[in-house]
């Protein structure tokens, strides 16, 4: 009877696990160390506080069509040089001078390292037979920097990058594009992201979502959802 119960339990676990056929992961802050380090590095390199960067971004949005320049950059609507010019426009009245923001992307990426426990987890998900997709809010010009940070092509069969597709999380279109590319329904997908609003949007579309706060908690939740 104990064996029977264990077998039934095993079947239940297997059936529960089989619901998830694909894992869709964020990049920055999930497969890398926290982005806060990048914001602090930018602060040090340029002598501009994170708060002033935020204010400048909002001022630049107001001066334009209302959308913050970072979001436009992430959707490939403006180039990186245009983004930096808009940011400098916003910073100039705050600082009393027009700051140089050269090496912005280098400073940003030099502060990040691969998040090895999470990369190992993604390998484990792949080995379990799950389809693997990377869904990232990113920047066209930054591709050579972020792609070399981790074994993207070894783990993921598809990369949906906001900079190239013209939508960004949490816009539903970018999740739908991801599902279309892997040919799997949201209900059979697990989504991982360090921004809760991105997880919310995924859940509204039917995904199971894990909000990354730290590696241990995320690894436990992902393994639980996949029955690993
Ligand atoms: Mg992220």
CA of 198 to the centre of ligand 1 (A): 9
pLDDT 10s digits, 33-48 = 999 899 899 889 988 9
Residue 132 CA neighbour count, 13 Å, CB half: 18
Cβ-contact 1, 9 below 8 angstroms: no
From residue 55, how far is each of 2, 48, 108, 182 by CA, in Å?
63, 11, 19, 39
pLDDT 10s digits, 167-214 = 999 999 999 999 999 999 999 999 999 999 999 999 999 999 999 999
CA of 12 to the centre of ligand 1 (A): 33
pTM for this predicted structure:
0.89
**What is the Cα 51 distance to its own chain's centre?**
22
Strand partners of residue 209: 191
pLDDT 10s digits, 128-171 = 999 999 999 999 999 999 999 999 999 999 999 999 999 999 99
Domain ranges of the chain: 14-34+112-226, 37-109
> Which DSSP string corresponds to 157-200?
SEEEEHHHHS--TTSHHHHHHHHHHHT--GGGEEEEES-HHHHH
Judge whether residue 60 has pLDDT over 50: yes
Residues with Cβ within 8 Å of residue 161, at least 6 apart in sequence: 136, 138, 140, 143
CA of 78 to the centre of ligand 1 (A): 21
CA angle 178, 105, 77 (to 5 degrees): 50
CA of 221 to the centre of ligand 1 (A): 17
Burial of 144 (0-12, 13-18, 19+ CB in 10 A): exposed
CA of 19 to the centre of ligand 1 (A): 25
CA of 141 to the centre of ligand 1 (A): 18
Homologous superfamily assigned to 14-34+112-226: HAD superfamily/HAD-like (3.40.50.1000)
Q: Decide the pairing of beta strands 22-25 and 131-136.
A: parallel
Burial of 52 (0-12, 13-18, 19+ CB in 10 A): middle
CA of 7 to the centre of ligand 1 (A): 39
């Amino acid at each position: 009877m104990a064996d029977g119960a264990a077998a039934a339990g095993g079947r239940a676990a297997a059936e529960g696990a089989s619901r998830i056929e694909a894992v869709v992961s964020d990049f920055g802050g999930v497969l890398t160390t926290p982005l806060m380090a990048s914001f602090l590095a930018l602060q040090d390199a340029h002598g501009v506080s994170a708060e002033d960067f935020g204010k400048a971004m909002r001022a630049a949005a107001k001066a334009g069509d209302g959308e913050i320049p970072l979001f436009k950059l992430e959707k490939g609507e403006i180039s990186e040089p245009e983004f930096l010019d808009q940011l400098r426009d916003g910073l100039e009245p705050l600082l009393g001078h027009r700051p140089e923001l050269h090496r912005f992307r280098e400073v940003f990426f030099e502060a990040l390292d691969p998040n090895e426990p999470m990369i190992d987890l993604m390998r484990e998900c792949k080995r379990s037979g799950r389809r693997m997709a990377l869904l990232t809010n990113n920047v066209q010009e930054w591709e050579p920097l972020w792609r070399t940070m981790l074994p993207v092509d070894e783990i993921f069969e598809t990369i949906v990058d906001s900079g190239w597709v013209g939508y960004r999380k949490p816009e539903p279109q970018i999740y739908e594009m991801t599902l279309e590319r892997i040919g799997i329904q949201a209900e059979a997908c697990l989504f991982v992201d360090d921004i809760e609003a991105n997880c919310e949007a995924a859940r509204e579309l039917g995904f199971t979502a894990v909000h990354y706060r730290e590696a241990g908690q995320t690894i436990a939740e992902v393994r639980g959802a996949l029955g690993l």
